[in-house]
Structure 1
Amino acid sequence: MKAIVCEEFGLPSTLQYKEVASLKPKKDEVLVRVSACSVNFPDTLIIQGLYQFKPTLPFIPGSDIAGVVKEVGENVTAFKVGDAVFGFAMNGGFAEEVIVQSNAIFPKPENMDFPIAASFLMAYGTSYHALKDRAKLQKGETLVVLGASGGVGLAAVQLGKLMGAKVIAAASTDEKLALCKHYGADLTINYEKEDLKKRIKELTDGKGADVIYDPVGGHNTEQALRATAWEGRLLVVGFAAGTIPKIPLNLTLLKGCQIMGIFWGSFAMQFPKKNYQNTMELMQWFSQGKLKPHIHQIFPLKETAKALEEMMQRKVKGKIVIQNQ
């Protein structure tokens, strides 16, 4: 089969598009013929050896997959050959086939095409876990989403609105913010032109934000934390800005606030029943037309490096998808 292989840590240009050995599922695994795999910002870090974990070289990156079951392990009863599925793999998605744990995939609805399915689970799973399980976002609270035009950011905007929050989207361009408004943001902040802390306070009548959703990191994290309300919650989702902020912990004392780490992949593996419940709730909203990923662009498998470069250059609004022909 064809695959994108990372043989050494480095930039996307170092990845190899090549023939690799076919795969065989173990007893609790499923072999999926990949139709689509979306690109997530952690993919750009994993190939550089900059993520929380480093896969053993060589490896095939890519996690957010959708496709058709090709073979099942001997213990698998929930799926059969020919089933259309979507799900999450630790790696291996940028290929024609991938091995997935049977408890990490779900039946694909007929009204969800493969690119949409591949764009759904990680973005919406992360954001829903963050807002529901960690922040316990309440109706009427104010949610500020940093990096709001990205895949997880737009998911957080949509989910925040569905959960009854007032949503303030923050991003780096007016074009990105227009997209956020289209997906339900009540108010917007261009943090390249405006003072983030000052604008959050102004838009909340001096109270501050109840919840900050932060997949960006960098210098804006502290400014957002300084603009939280009493007992606010800062959700640490990722570091797309490339730098991990160092936070003065006296701010948590002064505001009675919390800083919460969000690692959806680990949550999904450790608590599969909770993750299944969350996923079913998300799928119900999708079936009702209340959730839909925004597809920025679709690339063929052999152009995966170009797709990753687009992500690193912060040109992407919503999701980029790799699709097998």
Structure 2
Amino acid sequence: MQAWQVHENGEPGEVMRLTEVPPPTPAEGQVLLKVRAANVNFPDALLCRGQYQVRPPLPFTPGVEVCAETEDGRRVLATPALPHGGFAEYTVADAAALLPAPDALDDAEAAALHIGYQTGWFGLHRRARLEAGETLLVHAAAGGVGSAAVQLGKAAGARVIGVVGGPEKAAAARSLGCDVVVDRRSEDVITAVKDATGGHGADVIYDPVGGAAYRQSAKTVAFEGRIVVVGFASGDIPAPALNHALVKNYAILGLHWGLYNTKSPAVVRQCHEQLTELAAQGVVKPLVSERVSLDGAAAAVQRVADGVTTGRVAVVTDDSEKGEAA
């Protein structure tokens, strides 16, 4: 079979190589899956760079979420068991963690519903306890993780402010349902958010960026607000001033979604059931901006690493889906 492999750490476009390898052999408790679509995530770039919290042995295949087909014909969502990631024709995953793919979504959309939307749901509901009528601020609102949070925030009845970089991403954020869009390249984020909230600030802030975005969050969070730290796509891990959190009376909440798979897997399934229902109602629909074939995976991961993509990029094996945009 064909699979992308990383033999040394570095930038995805330089170290990912498409090779012929035998299909992986499932370990005990695992199943072999035929990949239908693999969603590109920022962690795939971090894996290539050797900067992710999980460091699989070299060589490995990146690709951390897929829509795939079991040997008995079921269409499922899975997080592949590294080092056998999803940018391949076949992968393996833990049988107990498979989730049914929503009928309302095609393969690329279904693959994109998994990690990003689960992260958004857990961040907004389990960690921040977002309530209807509150104001939600989402950094990188047109990106893969941010776009999921925007849709889930709107579904929860929140007023959503999206922070983006550039007019193309601003248009995407508006199409996702943002009530207010702030272009950080042409506007002062802190001033714009304070103006949009009448000085109140944002009740919940969803931050997958870190760095300057976090510093903006600390200056725009409301009284009794909650900042949800999801990741550090900027590469800058901030050191928050806890005295500031004390004086302004806000909470800093960390979210590592993967822990729920081991600590509370039943809640992961409950979340998936809710996401499936929202997809069936048309309330959430992953923004898949690009579908590429398997041979375009390395370039796609590099574009995501460079921060130039909008929504999700999916690697698909179904010719009917290639080149389409949702």
Same fold (TM over 0.5): yes
1:1-325 maps to which residues of 2 (within 5 A)?
A: 1-12=1-12, 13-70=14-71, 81-91=72-82, 92-325=85-318
Identity rate of aligned residues, in percent?
38
Q: SS at 2:211's partner residue?
A: coil
Deviations 1:97-133 (A, max 9, x none): 1111123221223332111111110111110010010
Q: SS at 1:168's partner residue?
A: strand
Conserved 8 A contact 1:103-1:272:
no
CA distance in 2, matches of 1:156, 1:169: 10
Q: Could you say which residue in structure 1 is the equivalent of 2:321?
A: none
Conserved 8 A contact 1:304-1:322:
yes
Conserved 8 A contact 1:89-1:104:
no
CA distance in 1, matches of 2:106, 2:26: 25
Q: Which amino acid aligns with 2:75?
A: A
Deviations 1:252-307 (A, max 9, x none): 11111111111112222321100100110010000111110111111111221110
* Structure 1 gap segments, 5+ residues each: 71-80
Q: Aligned in 2, Cα 1:193/1:300: closer, same or farther, shift over 3 Å?
A: same
Q: SS at 2:274's partner residue?
A: helix
Shift of 1:30: 1.6
Conserved 8 A contact 2:102-2:279:
no
CA distance in 2, matches of 1:170, 1:90: 34
CA distance in 2, matches of 1:96, 1:42: 20
Which stretch shows the higher mean deviation, 215-224 or 127-136?
Answer: 215-224
Q: SS at 2:55's partner residue?
A: coil
Q: Which amino acid aligns with 2:210?
A: G
TM-score after normalising by structure 1: 0.94
Which stretch shows the higher mean deviation, 136-145 or 16-25?
Answer: 16-25
TM-score after normalising by structure 2: 0.93
Q: Which amino acid aligns with 1:89?
A: P
Q: Could you say which residue in structure 2 is the equivalent of 1:78?
A: none
CA distance in 1, matches of 2:155, 2:102: 21
Q: Which amino acid aligns with 1:28?
A: G
Shift of 1:90: 4.5
CA distance in 2, matches of 1:90, 1:221: 32
Which stretch shows the higher mean deviation, 245-254 or 314-323?
Answer: 245-254
Task: Give the CA RMSD over aligned residues.
Answer: 1.3
Q: SS at 2:315's partner residue?
A: strand
CA distance in 2, matches of 1:89, 1:231: 38
CA distance in 2, matches of 1:252, 1:123: 27
Which stretch shows the higher mean deviation, 152-161 or 88-97?
Answer: 88-97
Conserved 8 A contact 2:204-2:228:
yes
Q: SS at 1:315's partner residue?
A: coil
Q: Which amino acid aligns with 1:63?
A: V
Conserved 8 A contact 1:157-1:169:
yes
CA distance in 2, matches of 1:259, 1:40: 24
Conserved 8 A contact 1:196-1:224:
no
- Residue correspondences, number: 315
Which stretch shows the higher mean deviation, 165-174 or 104-113?
Answer: 104-113
Q: SS at 1:119's partner residue?
A: helix
Q: Which amino acid aligns with 1:172?
A: G
Q: SS at 2:310's partner residue?
A: coil
Q: Which amino acid aligns with 1:86?
A: L
Deviations 1:213-246 (A, max 9, x none): 0011121211211111111111111111121122
Conserved 8 A contact 2:81-2:92:
no
Conserved 8 A contact 2:136-2:206:
yes
CA distance in 1, matches of 2:185, 2:264: 39
